[in-house]
Chains A and B, each alone.
Chain A
């Protein structure tokens, strides 16, 4: 079974996000990117399937500042192949990213595409579902439990309240992964360094993926602070005393 995992890199939400001068996008200079955490789960689930049933895992990412590191890390974790897609604008919409991924994946011999269910910048939809549309194959997203039996996969799609729907699917298929069966593994830095020395990443230039998404951002902004929380100041002791007081008032 050949599994392809297109991953998204997204701005690190721990850092402060600034808006550009036009007020229509993030200020992307100095923005630091990291792998979308759901895509990290998609890599993990693909590696789990590889280990349990045998599979070849190819990880693909569009070029950003941290892409090399993300791809080398995926190889260090056990992926067989890593491909960097170049020529796609940093501010590309998810439709455009999906189209670029489609251009690369359509020519591959794949059975299953697994990607993160959603990402922090999905203004125009989610990568997996859009990609499935461009590839002309079905997609099940919000998937958390994948098992393989022969040519058939059984997947669980999550609804709210812990309810799930079980589906049987036949490749070729795209899966939007919500959570892997275990926490994504860690690749030791030494192993990643070694891979970097020994391996050259494959690169594919996609120059013409631009999709007209039919909408434009008029205004991007930090939501107005509402009343928000009353912040409790002072030492841990002071704050603990105040919280204890609030809790006791509420309990009495």
Chain B
């Protein structure tokens, strides 16, 4: 195996995801330590026309095939395995996203390579790759080391600056043959389904009242709605509320929901799982109410209270009217 760092490019509808540039920036920093260079695995159809956006890399390994236009865990997985065989990287960086999770774990088994997942940081320490995983809902971090000749790390989106990897250039393009059976796979992409239009666009509101599991039942939602209306804001939520169908998907903040950046984010009964934090950490003022004083949300909030929200919220609404 070599010393190069391979970044797996993620793209949707012909555009590279921010996380691709986040990984490229980090890869450029680490390449100094491994003495290798940065390369990209670019799997898609026609995407190599956009390779100049990947100027932070010295080389792009392109698997280009019309059947690879849209992400497919099976065929993109085999294509990535082919690139790794070809490129023999020291370290493969994959985004810990919906697409990246599929690629990283399947590559780990297919090529018998170590995988360190949910990484917040990656370092090179002598002959070891060291990565810090965010586990147990963000309550525990684990620093893992691997001296394997080739290691995969899946990195959480949003932990490294994207600007560091956003450089135009002209990386060398090396074509890698697409694997067989792409057009006749057991998993067949059908279509992208756009989110349904909602009643309220939570990304456009300055003030958001967010509810989580702590709200207890659908019957308690009016508490949050009254507060939001007293503030001239809107109600949004963490994932469990949407899974329970108490609020529509368009109100969900977080990794698989929307990213919001309001002036005020009032989090009621939200523990602050990493997937939620990803969607709201850039709010200007975060106030969190949760009876669990160890809830991770308090790490990200500016102000916090462990008062029972059922006492606090009515009192607050009254004061704001």
Residues of A bordering B, CB below 8 Å: 11, 13-14, 16-17, 19, 26, 41, 95, 118, 120-126, 129-130, 132-134, 137-142, 154, 156-170, 173, 176, 178-180, 182-183, 213-223, 225-226, 228-232, 236-237, 239-244, 246-248, 250-251
Rounded to whole Å, the gap between the CB of A150 and the closest CB of chain B is 15
User: In this complex, what residue of A is CB-closest to B97?
Assistant: A160
Residues of B bordering A, CB below 8 Å: 12, 70-74, 97-99, 101-102, 104-106, 108-110, 113-118, 130, 133, 135-146, 148, 151, 154, 157, 185-196, 207, 231, 239, 243-245, 249-250, 252, 255-259, 263-264, 266, 271, 284-288, 292-294, 298-308, 311-312, 315-316, 318-320
Which 10 A-B pairs rank lowest in CB-CB distance, beginning with the nearest?
A: A133-B109, A214-B114, A162-B195, A229-B304, A129-B105, A240-B315, A125-B105, A215-B146, A229-B301, A236-B311
CB of A120 within 8 A of CB of B137, answer: yes
Rounded to whole Å, the gap between the CB of A174 and the closest CB of chain B is 10
Q: Which residues of A contact B114 (CB under 8 A)?
A: 124, 213-215
State A156–B118 Cα separation when bound (angstroms). Answer: 23
User: In this complex, what residue of A is CB-closest to B107?
Assistant: A133
Asked, given contacts A159-B12, A219-B142, whether A236 binds B193 with beta carbons under 8 Å apart, the answer is: no
State A160–B292 Cα separation when bound (angstroms). Answer: 28
State A239–B196 Cα separation when bound (angstroms). Answer: 38
Q: List 5 A-B contacts (CB under 8 A).
A: A120-B136, A133-B105, A229-B288, A241-B319, A250-B263
Rounded to whole Å, the gap between the CB of B181 and the closest CB of chain A is 11
Q: Which residues of A contact B104 (CB under 8 A)?
A: 125
CB of A215 within 8 A of CB of B298, answer: no
CB of B195 within 8 A of CB of A229, answer: no
State A241–B118 Cα separation when bound (angstroms). Answer: 39
Q: Which residues of B contact A178 (CB under 8 A)?
A: 256
CB of A168 within 8 A of CB of B97, answer: no
CB of B142 within 8 A of CB of A223, answer: no
Q: Which residues of A contact B250 (CB under 8 A)?
A: 162
Rounded to whole Å, the gap between the CB of B308 and the closest CB of chain A is 7
Asked, given contacts A215-B116, A215-B151, whether A16 binds B195 with beta carbons under 8 Å apart, the answer is: no
User: In this complex, what residue of B is CB-closest to A152?
Assistant: B188
Residue B116 contacts which of A124, A220, A222, A231 (CB distance < 8 angstroms)? A124
User: In this complex, what residue of A is CB-closest to B13?
Assistant: A163
Asked, given contacts A17-B136, A126-B101, A158-B256, whether A215 binds B263 with beta carbons under 8 Å apart, the answer is: no
State A176–B298 Cα separation when bound (angstroms). Answer: 30
Asked, given contacts A125-B108, A140-B102, A230-B304, whether A165 binds B138 with beta carbons under 8 Å apart, the answer is: no
User: In this complex, what residue of B is CB-closest to A13?
Assistant: B137
CB of A126 within 8 A of CB of B105, answer: yes
Rounded to whole Å, the gap between the CB of A154 and the closest CB of chain B is 7
User: In this complex, what residue of A is CB-closest to B320?
Assistant: A244
A-B contacts besides A125-B108, A165-B189, A229-B298, 16 pairs, CB < 8 Å = A13-B271, A26-B140, A95-B108, A121-B135, A122-B118, A129-B105, A165-B192, A167-B188, A173-B187, A215-B116, A216-B144, A216-B146, A220-B143, A222-B140, A223-B139, A247-B207
